[in-house]
Amino acid sequence: MKAEQVLTTLKQRFPNEPEYHQAVHEVLESIEEVYNQHPEFDKANLIERLCIPERIFSFRITWVDDKGNVQTNMGYRIQHSNAIGPYKGGIRFHSSVNQSILKFLAFEQTFKNALTTLPMGGGKGGSDFNPKGKSTAEIMRFCQAFVTELWRHIGPDTDVPAGDIGVGGREVGFMFGMYKKLAREFTGTFTGKGITFGGSLIRPEATGYGNVYFLLEMLKTRNIDIKGKKCLVSGSGNVAQYTCEKLIELGAIPVTLSDSNGYIYDPEGITKEKLEYVMELKELYRGRIKEYAEKYGCKYVEGGRPWGEKADIALPSATQNELNGDDAEMLIKNGIFAVSEGANMPSTPEAIEVFLKNKILYAPGKAANAGGVSVSGLEMTQNSERLGWSKEEVDSKLKWIMANIHENCVKYGKQSDNFVDYVKGANIAGFMKVAQAMMAQGII
Ligand code: NDP
């Protein structure tokens, strides 16, 4: 297998899907050497079977807004691979959603889920519906219309969706309610549910907490204490909020947050109280991060991203390709020694090259943000058992899983000079597990 050749063919067969090509390119580059040590993989054309999703559903969603206007959106579900378990991955509601973005996310999800130690395949779904400015009644009607199409393709042992950008506990609740009605069953078909109807404790916190647990493992390899370290966090949604919460608890100092309009820089640090305000602002009032700067009198940069501010650690937690090569150079110049990704593919290939060249601690999203789907997997287990575990139990399992992912990255990513290439480590570890399962199950 030649990575470039496979990619060229995929680009010809699936043109105009740049995000999908980008995600595939990164994995192929990492696994080329290992793949070529296994001629049986090539004989089974494993690489194409692994890159092309098993199934894609796309459908029209029709709903009525508060003014009585009939609206349409597109909905999708990508079932990428069920080699090691039922398809599993979030639902994204954002105006930018298209097939390329969901294909990249489902592809990444397959390797991420393989790293978690839990039996979950990879999938992703969503819609180009823009939840901004919509009333709760409109959100509910949209979620119900979305599930009216989706429900027949999912199930507790088939495909288990969860949240992602624009989809939090409220939206999962609405989707689960409609699913339950149509399927006439009460099962764990969605994760990220409310605590009173089968949700797991720590699920809302899991991606952010897990990212910080992964960061701690990386820092340990260089004997660095997180206490007092200044952190650049982007985004201000679920992942960013709980990343900040854990950082503050451990004595680190988050100094930035952002949304799609701009970023705030608070040199005094975002405290527990200030974070509570952010959570209320975002979850209750659906406001903009600019209001933080107005309330606490700090800097706000309209249209900007936080990567030019001085700090020690960066945790991109908003969206894909939010950190480019120039941003990465700036981070290095300002003394950043660790980057741990809460978002999926937030760094462009040029940025990753800069991190690896400078040998900083760099954790790609598929390893560092796997805590969210891990606790989703634990939610599925609790639903199957019809039991709910304590906060401590879920948190300790999350810590164990993140440490295990780190160990696997080190195992496959350690270079001859002892530098750990976490990109390579995560890609090879995830790939080997899925590849071996596919080989064992024959040509299907
Ligand atoms: P939320 O919707 O809760 O928050 C997203 C945040 O990112 C918001 O602050 C949003 O700002 C900002 N954002 C979204 N799109 C853009 C954009 N194009 N440019 C600038 N800012 C943007 O989503 P999550 O916190 O759940 O997800 C964040 C990232 O983490 C995503 O990449 C997601 O795939 C990934 N992830 C999430 C998991 C989870 O469990 N939720 C699990 C693993 C990964 P605004 O409000 O202005 O849109």
What is the model's pLDDT at position 371?
Answer: 98
The answer to whether the predicted template modeling score (pTM) of the entire model surpasses 0.75 is yes
Contacts of residue 344, Cβ cutoff 8 Å, sequence gap at least 6: 104, 105, 108, 320, 365, 366, 369
Task: DSSP for 321-377, please give it.
Answer: T-B-HHHHHHHHHTT--EEE-SSSS-B-HHHHHHHHHTT-EEE-HHHHTTHHHHHHH
Find out whether the beta carbon of 237 lies less than 6 Å from any atom of ligand 1.
Answer: yes
For 218, what's the count of Cα atoms within 13 Å in the CB-facing half-sphere? 27
Distance 236 CA to ligand 1 centre (A): 8
Instruction: Answer whether 315's CB lies under 8 Å from 343's CB.
Output: no
Pairing of strands 70-81, 55-64: antiparallel
Q: CA 280 to CA 290: how far, in whole Å?
A: 14
| Enzyme catalytic residues | 124
- State phi, psi for 72 to the nearest 5 degrees: -125, 145
Distance 210 CA to ligand 1 centre (A): 16
Distance 78 CA to ligand 1 centre (A): 19
What is the model's pLDDT at position 91?
Answer: 98
Category of 335 on φ-ψ map: left (φ > 0), alpha (ψ -120 to 50) or beta: left
- 112 CA closest ligand 1 atom index: 43
Distance 343 CA to ligand 1 centre (A): 7
Q: Which residue has the tokens 């973005």?
A: 101
Find out whether the beta carbon of 131 lies less than 6 Å from any atom of ligand 1.
Answer: no
Distance 416 CA to ligand 1 centre (A): 36
Provide the 10 A C-beta neighbour count for residue 251.
11
Find out whether the beta carbon of 164 lies less than 6 Å from any atom of ligand 1.
Answer: yes
- 96 CA closest ligand 1 atom index: 18
Q: Whose CA is nearest to atom 4 of ligand 1?
A: 237
Instruction: Answer whether 59's CB lies under 8 Å from 113's CB.
Output: no
Q: CA 311 to CA 121: how far, in whole Å?
A: 37
Find out whether the beta carbon of 239 lies less than 6 Å from any atom of ligand 1.
Answer: yes
What is the model's pLDDT at position 1?
Answer: 83
What is the model's pLDDT at position 426?
Answer: 98
Q: CA 31 to CA 141: how far, in whole Å?
A: 44
Find out whether the beta carbon of 347 lies less than 6 Å from any atom of ligand 1.
Answer: no
The closest alpha carbon to 86, from 210, 182, 188, belongs to 188
Find out whether the beta carbon of 116 lies less than 6 Å from any atom of ligand 1.
Answer: no
Find out whether the beta carbon of 306 lies less than 6 Å from any atom of ligand 1.
Answer: no
How large is the C-alpha radius of gyration of the chain? 21
Strand locations in 163-274, DSSP E? Answer: 230-233, 253-254, 256-259, 262-265
- 258 CA closest ligand 1 atom index: 9
Q: Whose CA is nearest to atom 27 of ligand 1?
A: 165
Q: CA 8 to CA 217: how far, in whole Å?
A: 37
Q: CA 235 to CA 128: how far, in whole Å?
A: 20
List, in order of start, the domains of the chain with CATH numbers: 3-186 (3.40.50.10860), 206-363 (3.40.50.720)
Find out whether the beta carbon of 344 lies less than 6 Å from any atom of ligand 1.
Answer: yes
Q: Ligand 1 pocket: which of 238, 243, 307, 323 to mutate (most atoms <8 Å of CB)? A: 238
Provide the 10 A C-beta neighbour count for residue 58.
13
110: enclosing H helix or E strand: helix 99-115
What does the H/E/C string look like for 418-432?
Answer: CCECHHHHHHHHHHH
What is the model's pLDDT at position 127?
Answer: 99
What is the model's pLDDT at position 79?
Answer: 99
Q: Give pLDDT tens digits along the chain (444 positions).
A: 889 999 999 999 999 999 999 999 999 999 999 999 999 999 999 999 999 999 999 999 999 999 999 999 999 999 999 999 999 999 999 999 999 999 999 999 999 999 999 999 999 999 999 999 999 999 999 999 999 999 999 999 999 999 999 999 999 999 999 999 999 999 999 999 999 999 999 999 999 999 999 999 999 999 999 999 999 999 999 999 999 999 999 999 999 999 999 999 999 999 999 999 999 999 999 999 999 999 999 999 999 999 999 999 999 999 999 999 999 999 999 999 999 999 999 999 999 999 999 999 999 999 999 999 999 999 999 999 999 999 999 999 999 999 999 999 999 999 999 999 999 999 999 999 999 999 999 999
